[in-house]
Amino acid sequence: MATHTIAVLPGDGIGQEVTPEAVRVLRAVGKRAGVTFEFEEALIGGAAIDATGTPLPPETLALCRKADAILFGAVGGPKWDHLPQESRAERGLLALRKELDLYANLRPAICFPMLIDASPLKRSVVEGTDLMVIRELTGGLYFGEPRGRESFADGGERAINTMAYTTREIERVARVAFDVARKRRKRLASVDKANVLVVSQLWREVVTRLARDYPDVALEHVLVDNCAMALVHKPTHFDTIVTENTFGDILSDEAAILAGSMGMLPSASLGPAAAGGRNVGLYEPVHGTAPDIAGKGVANPLAAILSAGLLLRYSLNMTAAAAWVEAAVQRVLEQGRRTGDIAKPGEKVLGTREMSDHVVHELEG
């Protein structure tokens, strides 16, 4: 029987409530698929600071390096906000992304038919939306050098950030995007600002060149301003979108509102393919630790559960099992099961555990 080791890092706040539910779902999948998952839990974020003084203890990093995939909750909260930037809880996640070179961030945005009313956009616009935004995560403006501020004699200042990408950085994230598009509806939109930025011109050239390896995927180039408009005007136009770090940061949040609630949004961050072609991956809900509801058992576990689905698909190549998880979530929503964040006034509201019970029941049934 195949065995996969999963590093489980619940972190803080509702991360500690929703991550165990995603583990429960994976156990049910393992039983059904005849696969053994070994779960090894480790500390990260505020919980790690409290226990060890650092947000990413060496043991946690070592576990993540040897695991087949990482299931992550969320980190941070008011208790650790007073700490200096470098030792805050959120550093645990940033350091982990850097150490594992997780360069491709995948964020699906699906508008589930039964949750259309939770979206701020009109039904006629969002109905049928099912897209994936792939954001380059380790390059571009957020990391480019030189960066900093300089003062002028007249008292004025100048601040600098640098947007820079190498061919290699563009190629590896574009390759992930083509591979993902191939597993979806075989359409890829590469988003840039090639009419103004030389970085975007290189981006466009590299993506165009790579497209020759993927003749079955239809590629289009879209300017970032047009993409921002089209996402709220005609989101169904898109299937897979790939873009650089800053554009992706903004567009993936814009795409997120199409889905209605933070509690529904999973994500994956992929690193270099290890020996055997397996992608090291970290899977987490898009939401944070939600201090306002933490400890009450009311958080929506579906983002974490759908993240476990992405883990099956992208790190373990268990495509059918990933589809089981997505179908189970869909059925539970069809049955009208709702947590507080997605319930309409008057609808029965379930807690974290009860909602997950229904998903597990669907998987077992």
- Write the burial class of residue 142 (CB in 10 Å: 0-12 exposed, 13-18 middle, 19+ buried): middle
Instruction: Please say which residue, 240 or 269, places its beta carbon nearer to ligand NAD.
Output: 269
State phi, psi for 207 to the nearest 5 degrees.
Answer: -65, -40
Q: Check binding of 249 to ligand NAD (CB under 6 A).
A: no
Is 142 assigned a catalytic role? yes
CB of 213 to ligand NAD, least distance (A): 33
Q: Check binding of 288 to ligand NAD (CB under 6 A).
A: yes
Instruction: Please tell me which residue in 193, 214, 239, 314 is annotated as part of the active site.
Output: 193
State phi, psi for 153 to the nearest 5 degrees.
Answer: -60, -30
Q: Where are the alpha helices (DSSP H) in 234-315?
A: 245-256, 302-314
The C-alpha atoms of residue 54 and residue 141 are separated, in whole angstroms, by: 27
CB of 71 to ligand NAD, least distance (A): 13
Structure tokens of 338? 């709702």
Per-residue burial over 155-180, b = 16 or more CB atoms within 10 Å of its CB, e = otherwise: eeeeeeeebebeeebbebbbbbbbbb
Instruction: Please say which residue, 139 or 285, places its beta carbon nearer to ligand NAD.
Output: 285
Instruction: Please tell me which residue in 31, 225, 234, 296 is annotated as part of the active site.
Output: 225
Among 60, 105, 300, 356, binds ligand NAD (CB under 6 A): 300
Q: Check binding of 289 to ligand NAD (CB under 6 A).
A: yes
Is 183 assigned a catalytic role? no
Among 287, 313, 337, 338, binds ligand NAD (CB under 6 A): 287
Is 81 assigned a catalytic role? no
Q: Check binding of 290 to ligand NAD (CB under 6 A).
A: yes
Residue 86's alpha-carbon distances to 5, 13, 53, 80, in angstroms, are 30, 20, 12, 12
Site size with ligand NAD, rule: CB under 6 A: 22
Neighbouring residues of 184: CB distance < 8 A, sequence distance ≥ 6: 132, 239, 240
CB of 341 to ligand NAD, least distance (A): 4
Q: Check binding of 76 to ligand NAD (CB under 6 A).
A: yes
320: number of Cβ within 10 Å:
11
The C-alpha atoms of residue 314 and residue 278 are separated, in whole angstroms, by: 8
Per the omega criterion (within 30 degrees of 0), is the bond before 146 cis?
Answer: yes
| Candidates 105-113, 190-198, 211-219, 291-299; binding stretch for ligand NAD (CB under 6 A) | 291-299
Q: Check binding of 77 to ligand NAD (CB under 6 A).
A: yes
Q: Check binding of 68 to ligand NAD (CB under 6 A).
A: no
Long-range contacts of 78-86 (CB under 8 A, 24+ apart): 78/291, 79/46, 80/45, 80/46, 80/49, 83/49
Q: Check binding of 338 to ligand NAD (CB under 6 A).
A: no
Q: Check binding of 293 to ligand NAD (CB under 6 A).
A: yes
Instruction: Please say which residue, 216 or 292, places its beta carbon nearer to ligand NAD.
Output: 292
Instruction: Please say which residue, 16 or 201, places its beta carbon nearer to ligand NAD.
Output: 16
Q: Report the site for ligand NAD in 15-34 (rule: CB under 6 A).
A: 18
Q: Is the four-CA dihedral 116, 120, 125, 128 of positive or negative sign?
A: negative
Three-state secondary structure call for residue 75: coil
Instruction: Please tell me which residue in 130, 142, 179, 186 is annotated as part of the active site.
Output: 142
Taken as a whole, the chain contains a residue count of 365
Instruction: Please say which residue, 93 or 207, places its beta carbon nearer to ligand NAD.
Output: 93
Q: Are 4 and 29 in contact (CB under 8 A)?
A: no
Among 20, 30, 260, 263, binds ligand NAD (CB under 6 A): 263
| Candidates 133-141, 231-239, 274-282, 288-296; binding stretch for ligand NAD (CB under 6 A) | 288-296
| Candidates 204-212, 221-229, 297-305, 310-318; binding stretch for ligand NAD (CB under 6 A) | 297-305
Interface ranges with ligand NAD (CB under 6 A) = 14, 18, 74-77, 90, 93, 262-263, 284, 287-293, 299-300, 303, 341
Q: Which residues are known catalytic residues?
A: 142, 193, 225, 249, 253
